[in-house]
Structure 1
């Protein structure tokens, strides 16, 4: 093989990708995961509006949440370019059975309803967002080398904001661990809980091999290894047990009733006028 000759197919745009059905199949699966993960986590973040521990955090968390929903929009737009349908429809009209988001991300913030005596758990939120932002950083970095150039470009663009999100939640984790007492105990309990559920987030689903073979992103083992190394560098060893997915596999369409309720709430305004531009 001559020096510089490409050893894999590289797609510069959606029209090229559409011509290879197997490539497009793996690509759309990956993009749905990117989009749906951010979409549901942004919703869970929005439920903290006005309820965060202090006013500065309320402003910061709201900004992070808004950015995260914007990232979801980037990926839904890439799906629209591939012929999957209108981005707003993909975000709001798909049922739980078609969502590719991880189950751990749909977990409710706590007891109660946002408008009726919410008893949310800040420890759960800090752990979930910190774990997720470390994962997202890894996944985006790997995606910058994707064989699908629009995905690589989108990942690079999101990475301009991502480090700030990660730094915010890493700061919270370190502060609560250093606080000792109940704060540290509750945070560590949520980390152990997450360890038994987070493997679902780290997976790429039934088309993982297709994604890797198509050089869309590195394999699940690479994602998990890098994520574990980064998390343990910050918080130390969490559990002697292997990572688990006690709530199921969202990548394979397994979800809880909590996602159904969340999607219904998310679409309330959208459903008032589906012809509007959102």
Structure 2
């Protein structure tokens, strides 16, 4: 398949499908990196605190890389794209914006490590599937970005798979909390696996493979870890709270963006 560069984009349909895909990729990483950063100082032990912080830094860097591609398309500056857009313009999956623990988060913040492990593991597997596909993307700059991101993603995946299998095999309360987290994450994880309204155009233009193919690879990648824990596979994946790819979001995203964009609102001319 022919590969295009910024100055050889064939038509407006291609550009629209490309921008839609880039917004999903960047917004997913941006909000999950923030949720992960909230664990700083709260992880189970000091080594995990350092490792998780490094993963979040990498993930935010990946978001920045994709926002830069959007900026090159004329969508705005990196700062505007990351901090200046309202919730309804965001294209991240809803499960990624959810707070880190149950209960009234603003009154009594609570953190659930099982939820963090399952959400990050499932997402990292899905991200790896996408990046592997994007290495063959018809848009050259995106294919190059995918290769760079993949070099770090290998370690992220190994990290979360280790946590997942150890806690699932621990038995007792640990396994029960993990199973509860799997159920909770799966209730909205379909939002991560979908490519949104422009998904068909994305695959037709060769930007990324078809949604069904990617979802099947995600399911297959989880088969061995699930089989080793004796838990049902594949899990039932749903989308109960709306479609983030269409700009449907929760108050969790509004609150997160308010915090994330505070400095930007004070000094929009600064550099992110």
TM-score bracket relative to the smaller structure: over 0.9
| Residue number in structure 2 paired with 1:162 | 153
Distance 2:259 2:6 in 1: 32
| Residue number in structure 1 paired with 2:22 | 31
* Aligned partner of 1:134 among 125, 150, 164: 125
| Residue number in structure 1 paired with 2:47 | 56
| Residue number in structure 1 paired with 2:36 | 45
Distance 1:277 1:241 in 2: 42
In the alignment, structure 1 segments of 5+ residues that lack a partner are 1-7
Report SS of the residue matched to 1:159: helix
| Residue number in structure 2 paired with 1:10 | 3
Q: How does 1:1-278 map to 2 (within 5 A)?
A: 8-11=1-4, 13-17=5-9, 20-110=11-101, 111=103, 118-236=109-227, 238=232, 242-278=236-272
C-alpha displacement of 1:26: 0.1
Q: Please, what is the CA RMSD of the aligned residues?
A: 1.5
C-alpha displacement of 1:270: 2.1
Instruction: Note the alpha carbon deviations across 1:195-217, whole angstroms, 9 max, x for none.
Output: 22111100000001100100000
Report SS of the residue matched to 1:244: coil
Compute the TM-score of the two structures, normalised by the length of structure 2.
Answer: 0.95
Aligned residues: 268
Distance 1:192 1:113 in 2: 20
In the alignment, structure 2 segments of 5+ residues that lack a partner are none
Instruction: Note the alpha carbon deviations across 1:26-62, whole angstroms, 9 max, x for none.
Output: 0000000110000000000011011111111101100
Distance 2:269 2:258 in 1: 18
C-alpha displacement of 1:277: 1.6
Compute the TM-score of the two structures, normalised by the length of structure 1.
Answer: 0.93
